[in-house]
Structure 1
Amino acid sequence: MDFWSRLIAGTSLDSSRGSKNSSNHPEKRLARFKKQYSQLLQEWRNASNLANDSEAAEDIRCSIQDLTNLLSDESRRPLPHPCISFAASKQIYIPIGKIATTSYNEGIIREAVALYATLIDSEEEDFVENETFSHSLMNLLVRITGANSIRLGLDTEVEVVELSFNITTKIRLDPEILPAWFTASEHEEAEGGQGAHEKFTGKTHKEDFPLFYLLIDYIHHEGRIGDFARTGLLYIIEAASNSVALEQWIVESDLATLMATGLGALYSQLSRKLVIDHPSNELPPILALSDYQHPITNFEIVSSSSPDFQGHMETFLSHLVFWQDVLNHCKSVEVKSTLLEHFQVIFLQQLLYPSLLESSDVDGGSSVAVLTYLRRILEALDHPDMIHLILHYLLALPDTTPAPTGSRASVSAARKRKSMDLATMMQGFQVEEAATPALFNLVDLIQGSLRSSSEQTISVTLQLVSVILRRHHRYAVTTLLWTSQVLSDGSQRTIGAHDLELDFLLGLAGNIGGDDNFDEVYENHLKDCMGILESHPCSIGLIAPKSASGTTRITGSQASIPGAPRDIRSHTLRPEDPMLKTLLGILATFFTNSIEVNLCLTGAIIDLATCGFMRIDGWLLPDPARYVYDEDEAEAEDPYFMGLGDTIEVQERAQLQELKKARRTPKWDENKVPDLLKQLKTLVDQVSAYRTEIPRFDELLQQRREAFQTASSATSTPIPIRQAPPPRSSFDSSRSVSPPRISALDSLAQRIFPELGTPSRSRSPRGRRSQERSSGALSGGYGLSTPTTSRTGVPPPQFPMGLETPSRESSRAFSPSPLRDAETTLRRHGVPASQAAAFAAVDQSILARKVGLPALKGGIIPIPFPSLRDGKGESSEGSTQGTEDGSVQGEGEEEGKVAEKKSSVNHVLTNVIVLQEFLLELAALVQVRAGLFGEVKYV
């Protein structure tokens, strides 16, 4: 075949070998390269208009490609490299750059960019340090990416930005090549009559550093092109620490302005009104087994589960994290100060705070939106300076006078000019005096939102409070919370009191009832609480090893801006704390609250007690200074030690007496017990009232618990739920008393009674939402989280239900136990299948009934439960309900009064399980704190 091919083509026997020898021989390779370059120039001179002459454009593209291939092949061969030397001496890149610039042909442009990249990658002839080479390349890149250029394809744009990134990488490795790409030219004369302070160096002289602005144009893009641009810009900013001229130029450039306005533009794209929702086919079981209804959405009110909204949110958060990366890479104090100043003035003062100020919970979800956005911002950031700016401004903390930095005079002058430019620009936007946090700050907004009639507003506000308490507790001590300092020599909780408090909390959980292995459940809570306490930022100073000086300093954890809160000290909540009173008010209506509100509420209480410097005595547990003991437990002299005069024996006697005193059990005075414990006791009493008046309460509660256990152990994808008709309003306060969702009740009965014909649903509510360890940009907490793993059947992170890892997400763990089949149990006792189905129907009827909160006064007041024999859901006219004084009141007497909020028994059962898990978690937290922080004395 080879013979006939050569015969037909007329080639010699040694043609292939000659071609190979030509590539290996430097002189022949150079001759071929010169011939190809001459042919390229000849084709360019003969072409009149490459934009319209496709044949000539293709010939030129192929010629440039051949030159690139020869250069690339030669760079991989041993020295010498005559083609690369020829390209450097003859500066072939200049005409090739002109050809690509004037061709308006993407193919030619792409091959020209590839040739420049090949020359740079060869690392020979100092191309990257050559000013002529850099000017030619940047002229090409600026022209082809400018407004008057052709629209480049995505692949070509990626290659352009990647080439720019490669240049910044070399600048980072060798700062001495920076002058070839950056010219610190002097522009002393004002242009166009501009004054010294009106002239903006960064705007009018982009030619000083075109590579810098080329990367800025692409930092907002997604994918590889955005990654290359952002990383390349970080490398340039990092190089500013080695060049005073570059540092001053960056300060006076519009980098900070472009970054701040770009962040503001992305924030403005987020919906002004938001409702928190889940896709119908991925509704968590804990919500399905409640009175949950999907909120209404329209063109104004956006759902958090909308893909478009999630995309906008991810883009905004990614750019916010880019701000953080810039500050982390920046070693220049002046550049960092300029960026932070623009972040505060343009983003915080002009966008974020006004959106918080104008929000409302009566206009369809604007409060839900802005509170959720603020929470996501605080969760995404960990740079102390950015956190300080946000919380210092929104919480209206007092300003302090910054100390002199001692920076270089030229850079400080540039900072001063830039600050004046920023102040002048902002004056144009301030038509009238706007409100400031001094008049209405974040604390006012949080307190008002917690008193809202919208449960979604309450839940997202509680999530925001949890984030501040958990991640930035030092900012909450003097703002959100009313605290008082605790002296180190104050009273300490004794082991006897500690045992009594644990017995009380565990006893409350036990009074709710159940057949589970609660020892295993409690053990899981202990492990979870240990991880929570150890990971709290304030606790690191208490549990980390001390240095030789006896102190523990965590580097990088403090803001460099003056005015940051001082190091946190031991403190406790004051009894009149408004936040604590608000939480207790929400806790009082626990069983009629939505599931989301209760999960966020219990999470906030746990976060309030997580800080190691927060003493829980006095507001969560009784104050040790007010212990009272029975008279028979008074200290008595041990007759064995009477008359002992030996010093050692006396010391041992004294130690034994102290041990006995520490083990004494104090007597609780009802007036001295914290309100939180009283409210928890009231809730458990209400459970007892429900048990008395609701038929089959214990059986239904156990079935609910087992349904969650089955959901947690199953691995199948959740079964879609049929949708009920949408409510009339997204924020209708009476929505919770509307008819129950039959789909949720049907699915519950089908899980409990297999005879109804639908397999069981997977998932169970092991815990409240994950608040810190998010799995994605939108999964930081319940408020904005949307299930993202429906294909694998994994529940959303705010309601983790797996039993695999004992972490904070599994804080309300339900230990596994076999699901009892109700029908099988009934048949085992001789109940026919028809009667088993009838019992299932009766249970469904019970679950659908509406009940309010039981009235307790001097004991448990029975709740009149609607008769199951009348066949009606809610009792009609003439129905009765219990009052606070124990009397029975008809509906006619309720006219003119606010209707009592009621929920279905189905909803109450789920809240009872949440309460039991919260009590176990609270007991575990008290026990772990005692050992980890040494809060209990034994002697």
Structure 2
Amino acid sequence: MDFWSRLMSPLSSGSSRQDQAKDPAKRLHRFEKEYGNLLTTWRTSSNLSRDSDAAETLEIRLQELTNILSDESRRPLPHPCIQFASSRHIYVPIGKIATTSYNEWIIKEAVLFFATLIESEEEAFVENTTFSASLTNLLVRITGPNSVRLGLDTESRVVELAFNITTKIRLAPDILPAWFKAQGSQDEGKRDSREKFAGRTQRADFPLFYILMDYIHHEGKVGDFARTGLLYIIEAASSSTLLEQWIVESDLSTLMATGLGALYSQLSRKLVIDHLPHQLPPILAFSDYQHPTSNFEVISSCSSEFQSHIETFLSHLLFWQDVLNHCKSVDVKSTLLEHFQVIFLQQLLYPSLLESSDIDGGSSVAVLTYLRRILESLDHPDMINLILHYLLALPEAPDAQSDEPSSLISSARKRKSMDLATMMASKSDTAVTPLLFNLVDLILACLRSKNQQTIYVTLQLVSAILKRHHRYAVMTLLKTEVLPSHVVHRTIGAHEQEVEYLLSLAGAVGGQDNFDDVYDSLLKDTMARLESHPCSLKLVAPHVGKNHNHKPAALSDSLPGAPREVREHTLRPDDPLLNAMLDLLETFFLNPVETNLSVTDSLVDLATCGYMSIEGWLARSPHSYQYDEDEDVSEEEASGDEDAKQSPSADAAKLTTEPQDEQAKSQKDCRCRPQWNQQSLPRLLHIVKRLCDQVITYKETVPRFEELLQQRREAFHTADMILHSPKPQPRDIPMTLGTPDRPSDEFSRSGSPSRPSAFEGLAQRLLSELSTPSRSGSPRGRREQNRGSGSGSGLATPSQRVDNYGTASPRTLPIPPPKEFPFPTHNGYRTASPSRIGDDIGVDLDNRGDMHPSRIADFAAADQTILSQRIGLPDRTIDPIPLKFNKAPIREPVSASREDEEDEDEFSKAAIGPDADEMDDEDGDEDKGEESENGEPQSPQDPETVSVSHVVTNVMIFQSFVFELASLVQVRAGLFNEVRFV
């Protein structure tokens, strides 16, 4: 061969290789050659685990075979290589090579080879029993306990291959016999095939089923493939009676229940609810929130370990729900639910609730949190019915006796139930049932706990039950009374009176926000909340005429004992749950912020059901209405009678106008407003009024309380902008971001003292800027005019303060909201005015736009001093109480002169109180408290006192709650027709 021939030989060989791929005959010749080399290498190698060269050669040959098959499946017919693989059964030796190699790379290439044959959809590989036996043997051997450890990628390909087979079975149930064979005893050959394996199910009957079962607890793509493939097999049981009976008698239900129990047991027994320091919500940062302590035994809810465990457990719980949704066999579903109740509910969940306590480091917090997450995650009616029916100790429904002969599948299910009962009886001799101590007892006991976290998570659980499963709470968690069919609702006059009363209380709290827009937005949110309640569907759904074949959706509970549909009812005044929540409302301003958010949310949830009447516990009862005697109306009626006597046609006119006059009089009577008697108010409104009085007392006794309240409202506005705008422009909020490129002399003389530990990073950024008395020259003052009424409003609802649930489209209510709020006067109160404090120091606090920056910093420092002081609840006599502050030094500015220092001392005395020195002297040793490590005295913190900053935040929550109560009363009246006009 000359030089030019040798130079052109690579090009010519490459061209011939492409021609071989296009030519079916040449392609087949190449495929047979590669297959022959593969067999030769395998037969000449005695031990592939030690012969690395032979193992590498086998891997390359398998890869080449797979590439040829994959390329041929994309080319036009004929496909001789695929036909050769089918006719010569080359997958049998390839499966043996992979199982005996103990080499992950060879196993991976063999799995890809089998997957390529299945994806080709030719030669009916999936229906071939020889192919299924070879592939099944491969999958069992490489996933068994004695196999080589597979990597994540190889493991994923193995499970994906098994999933592809279940997909074929789902689309073509006729191929099921190739993969599922019930192995019966040889001496039972003459019996029916459905009876051969009764009680004798084995892994060899359906290896693919158990391969998927072994991977359903895995995370990521592997677990997804396994769970979905198992769902397809269970769904295929509806078309195969043999498979249905096999699943009933198999250990599917036992493995699933024990697997769920194992994941539940991995959850921490003791838990504390916490937030990461850099993710602390602003509403907690502006309060006395302290991070709870956690250790190796008590785990924090924000830890990555807990989040991983709870997500894994909930994902498997949702897999249970998916199985029940896909299962069309009643017997398979009943077997699964029975094992779920006995193994998980009775043996794990209920004992953990029974043994929980709030004094051992958070076990009650843990189990109540887990139960709430379970109820919030599930929506399958059978599972919900099973959990709440058992935990609430609802009465069992009588078993329906059927005269029809039981089928073989039903008999198999009964044998399975008897085996389960026998196994559980041998494990527990003295079992405590919910008949002695149920979920209601636990909830009421936890609401009386001294542990605030226990109260917090209990209220969250109550709210979840009320919002999602209200019909289970009626007559169990709540003491209710069924109302008669023709109940007398409140009148329009009384309704308007109550709405205006609540709005006046909310307005009396004060503030400079656009409350009309805030309330209008809140009405839309309340409308969406009421319409989304599960009990309200029949009330708000449009009524369809008789000519349409439309029926309301029936309950899909297949288990007996589910509670009946909810009828119109109301809460009894002695309801323990309501009174427990009202007891927490009594100390609203001293409560933790999380407790107040939960108790207000739960109270609103009590009134969201359309069948729950609010009259008697939220609104006044119509039976308590008392009206003033109207003498003018009586005189008009008397004069009208005299005129009628003198008229000759009086009798005839009276007959025609009497019905109209009665209707007009009835309408007028309904518009009349009854006497406002405090004794007729429900306890809830009594407490709301008392809390409003306490706010007014705070205004009188705490210096600059209204100013601090407005600053806190603006702080929440700015925090909302930061959370929804991660990278805001410096022009919008230059001071909030605290960027290093701002002018160096801007607030360089900040005199703010150190804050409590609860003020995290967000609070330190916001409060240092928003607590300055000057607003006219700040960007926040300009934004006040253009502020919207959405989520940026300072008065978010209790639910929006935790997580926004969205707003509904605007609706035209039959009862328009009042536009003017009549604010009642409160005798004996003197609202603290900023100007009064300013007179003491010679400064106009309402107009300080041109004040020197050092003076602005002094005012900011004084505000921080006030916010850090600790106060308690006002006296129940509603008399103004003296507010006693401990001395708190104000840091000296960097460049302050001696005159500025003297003015600063005068300002501190004026802001804190003129008698601060005398108070400290009178208390003497009582206020000195313990000494710190450096010898400085520290004032002891009274557990019945909180900081002023904490009170200000709770006042914001209280005002939002009162607005929400008003919107709830108003929207219910229009949505559920609860008001009488005639």
TM norm structure 2? 0.82
Offset, 1:75: 1.5
Deviation at 1:829, TM superposition (A): 6.2
Q: Take 2:444 and 2:917, find their aligned partners in 1: how far apart are those partners?
A: 37
Q: Which residue of 2 aligns with 1:58?
A: 56
1:904 to 943, 947, 966: 947
* Distance verdict in 2 for CA 1:121–1:832, change over 3 Å: closer
Match among 666, 669, 677 for residue 685 of structure 2: 677
The residue correspondences of 1:870-889 to structure 2 (distance < 5 A) are none
Aligned residue in 2 for 1:7: 6
The alpha-carbon deviation at position 124 of structure 1 amounts to 1.3
In the TM superposition, what is the alpha-carbon distance from 1:33 to its structure 2 partner?
A: 1.8
Q: In the aligned structure 1, how far is the partner of 2:350 from the partner of 2:297?
A: 21
2:652 alignment counterpart: 645
> Which segment is superposed worse, 359-368 or 66-75?
66-75
1:524 paired residue number: 521
> For residues 720 and 240 of structure 1, what CA distance do their matches in structure 2 show?
61
Deviation (angstroms), 1:749: 4.1
User: Does 2:838 match 1:835?
Assistant: no
1:149 aligns with 2:147: yes
2:77 paired with 1:79? yes
Q: Deviations over 1:533-572 (max 9, x none)?
A: 1100000011113355699855364311000000100000
**Offset from partner CA, 1:144-188 (integer Å, 9 cap, x none):** 000000001111111111111111011111111100000123248
Residues 621-630 or 651-660, more deviating: 651-660
Question: Aligned partners of 1:597, 1:106: CA distance in 2, in Å?
Answer: 56
Q: Distance in 1 between matches of 2:573 and 2:515?
A: 33
Cα offset for 1:850? 1.3
Q: CA deviation at 1:136?
A: 0.6
For 2:400 and 2:737, the matched residues in 1 are separated by 61
Q: CA deviation at 1:7?
A: 1.9
Which residue of 2 is the match for residue 773 of structure 1?
Answer: none
Post-superposition offset of 1:32: 2.1
Contact 1:571-1:613 within 8 A present in 2 as well = yes
- Sort the Cα spacing of 1:10 and 1:837 in 2 relative to 1 into closer, same or farther, 3 A: closer
- Alignment of 1:90 with 2:110, yes or no, is no
Residue from 322, 328, 341 that aligns with 1:325: 322
Letter in 1 for 2:864: Q
1:845 to 2:865 alignment: yes
For the residue of structure 2 that corresponds to 1:302, the secondary structure is strand
Change (3 A) 1:268 1:798: farther
> Which secondary structure state, in structure 1, belongs to the residue aligned with residue 802 of structure 2?
coil
Counterpart amino acid of residue 712 in structure 1: D
Distance 1:739 1:86, change over 3 A: closer
Q: Does 1:799 align with 2:796?
A: no
Deviation at 1:397, TM superposition (A): 0.7
User: What is the CA deviation profile of residues 490-546 of structure 1, one whole-angstrom value per residue up to 9, with x for unaligned ones?
Assistant: 211111011001011101101111111100000011000010011000000111133
Contact 1:284–1:763 (8 Å) recurs in 2: no
Equivalence for 1:696:
704
For residue 410 of structure 1, what is the aligned residue in structure 2? 408
Cα deviation, residue 76, structure 1: 1.6
1:920 match: 963
- Once residues 843 and 6 of structure 1 are traced to their aligned partners in structure 2, the CA distance between those partners, rounded to angstroms, is 95
SS at match of 2:427: coil
> Equivalent of 1:665, from 656, 666, 673?
673
Query: CA separation of 1:302/1:575 partners in 2, compared to 1, >3 Å: closer, same or farther?
Result: same
CA distance in 2, matches of 1:650, 1:917: 48
Give a deviation string over 1:254-276, Cα, whole Å, max 9, x none. 11111111111111111111111
In 1, Cα distance between equivalents of 2:471 and 2:162: 43
Counterpart pick for 1:34 among 32, 35, 55: 32
- Following superposition of structure 1 onto structure 2, how do residues 185-196 of structure 1 map, counting pairs within 5 Å? 185-187=183-185
Aligned to 2:382: 385
Q: Which residue of 1 aligns with 2:353?
A: 356
Equivalent residues of 2:737, 2:765 under 8 A apart: no
Distance in 2 separating the partners of 1:890 and 1:497:
54
1:497 aligns with 2:494: yes
Query: Secondary structure of the residue that 1:665 maps to in structure 2?
Result: coil
The 1-side partners of 2:112 and 2:602 are apart by: 57
Distance (Å, rounded) in 2 between the aligned partners of 1:570 and 1:400: 23
Partner of residue 752, structure 1: 770
Matches within 5 A, 1:154-553: 154-187=152-185, 201=199, 205-404=202-401, 409-430=407-428, 432-548=429-545
The code of the aligned residue for 1:333 comes to V
- Judge conservation of contact 1:361–1:454 (CA < 8 Å) in 2: yes
1:615 corresponds in structure 2 to 613
Structure 1 stretch 707-716 or stretch 149-158: which is displaced more?
707-716
CA distance in 1, matches of 2:241, 2:50: 48
Whole-angstrom distance in 1 between the partners of 2:606 and 2:59: 67
Match status 1:865 vs 2:863: no
Asked whether the equivalents of residues 113 and 159 of structure 1 are also in contact (C-alpha less than 8 Å), the reply is yes
* Distance in 2 (alpha carbons) for counterparts of 1:634 and 1:131: 100
Cα distance in 1 for partners of 2:394, 2:41 equals: 70
Note the C-alpha offset of 1:652: 2.6
Secondary structure class of the residue paired with 1:484: strand
Distance in 2 of aligned mates of 1:854 and 1:558: 53
Could you tell me which runs of 5 or more consecutive residues in structure 1 were left unpaired when the two chains were aligned. 191-196, 722-737, 771-796, 808-819, 881-888, 892-897
**Stretch moving more, 506-515 or 847-856:** 847-856
Taking a change above 3 Å as real, the CA distance of residues 535 and 217 of structure 1, as seen in their structure-2 partners, is same
More deviation, 350-359/414-423: 414-423
Choose which of 564, 588, 591 in structure 2 pairs with 1:590.
588
C-alpha change, 1:428 and 1:519, in structure 2 (3 Å) is same
> How far did residue 670 of structure 1 move?
2.7
Deviation at 1:668, TM superposition (A): 3.0
Query: In structure 2, do the counterparts of structure 1 residues 43 and 524 end up closer, same or farther at CA, with 3 Å as the change threshold?
Result: same
| Aligned equivalents of 2:651, 2:851: Cα separation in 1 | 75
1:817 is matched with: none
CA distance in 2 between partners of 1:766 and 1:873 (Å): 38
Deviation at 1:691, TM superposition (A): 1.2
In the TM superposition, residue 766 of structure 1 has moved relative to its aligned partner by 5.4
Give unpaired runs (5+ residues) of structure 2: 189-194, 645-649, 729-735, 739-754, 781-790, 811-833, 887-911, 930-940
* Cα distance change on mapping 1:357 and 1:7 into 2, 3 Å: same
**Matches of 2:355 and 2:959 in 1, distance apart?**
39
Shift of 1:742: 6.5
Change in 2 beyond 3 A, CA 1:304/1:375: same
SS of structure 2 residue aligned to 1:621: coil
Rounded to whole Å, the distance in 1 between the matches of 2:97 and 2:863 is 82
Aligned length: 855
Residues 914-923 or 25-34, more deviating: 25-34
In structure 2, the CA distance between the partners of 1:926 and 1:890, relative to structure 1 (3 Å rule), is: farther
2-side partners of 1:168 and 1:489: how far apart? 58
Give per-residue Cα distances to partners, 1:840-859, cap 9 Å, x unaligned: 222222112211111123x4
SS in structure 2 opposite 1:127? Answer: coil
**Deviation sequence 1:771-795 (CA, Å, 0-9, x none):** xxxxxxxxxxxxxxxxxxxxxxxxx
Root mean square deviation, CA, Å:
3.4
Q: In the aligned structure 1, how far is the partner of 2:271 from the partner of 2:794? A: 25
Counterpart CA distance in 1 for 2:916 and 2:384 is 56
Once the two structures are TM-superposed, the CA of residue 425 in structure 1 deviates from its matched residue by 2.3
Equivalent residue runs for 1:102-141 within 5 Å: 102-141=100-139
